[in-house]
């Protein structure tokens, strides 16, 4: 729904209506796709949870879910950073929850980015790390 609104609005910009929506119009206006914005928001929220900026006990077992939100990766000799989490593969409706959406992406972040001391520093480092991501302006359906 929001993607359709963004598509219509970008068509109203003079000189861009003839361009294809996902790649050309969004790139010309320097607007990331809504999928990319959601992923960025998820990663930022994960940083806030793991760094206790948001006071959420992410290691406590949930009574309805039966598992903790984030668990440290089992292999301590993993590549990447020291805050790797176990990857959640959830069937059914739980496949869309935060840990299932963000675990793999979080584990691919650089040590320098994850070790940021403040939220603003993390956002700046994340922007720098992701500035050339291929999915920044490319829209694709996930279903």
Whole-number Å distance between alpha carbons of 70 and 60: 9
In-domain check, residue 142: no
In-domain check, residue 137: no
39 shares its domain with 63: yes
Place of tokens 């805050």: 83
77 shares its domain with 11: no
21 shares its domain with 85: no
What is the per-residue pLDDT across 25-55, written as a single tens digit (0 to 9) for each? 766 777 777 788 889 999 999 999 888 888 7
69 shares its domain with 93: yes
44 shares its domain with 112: yes
pTM for this model (two decimals):
0.73
56 shares its domain with 110: yes
Whole-number Å distance between alpha carbons of 78 and 114: 15
Q: Are 46 and 30 in contact (CB under 8 A)?
A: no
For the chain, what is the domain count? 2
Whole-number Å distance between alpha carbons of 68 and 91: 16
Whether the per-residue pLDDT at 116 is higher than 90: the answer is yes
Domain that holds residue 1: 1-31
């Amino acid at each position: 729904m929001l993607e359709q609104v963004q598509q219509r609005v970008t068509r109203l910009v003079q000189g861009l209506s003839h361009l294809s929506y996902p790649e050309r119009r969004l790139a010309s206006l320097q607007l990331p796709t809504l999928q990319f914005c959601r992923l960025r928001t998820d990663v930022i929220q994960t940083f806030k949870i793991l760094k206790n900026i948001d006071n959420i006990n992410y290691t406590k077992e949930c009574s309805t879910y039966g598992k903790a939100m984030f668990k440290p990766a089992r292999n301590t000799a993993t590549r990447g950073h020291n805050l790797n989490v176990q990857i959640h593969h959830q069937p059914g409706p739980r496949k869309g929850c935060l840990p299932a959406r963000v675990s793999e992406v979080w584990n691919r972040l650089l040590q320098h980015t994850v070790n940021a001391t403040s939220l603003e520093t993390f956002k700046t480092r994340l922007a720098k790390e992701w500035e050339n991501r291929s999915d920044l302006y490319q829209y694709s359906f996930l279903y």
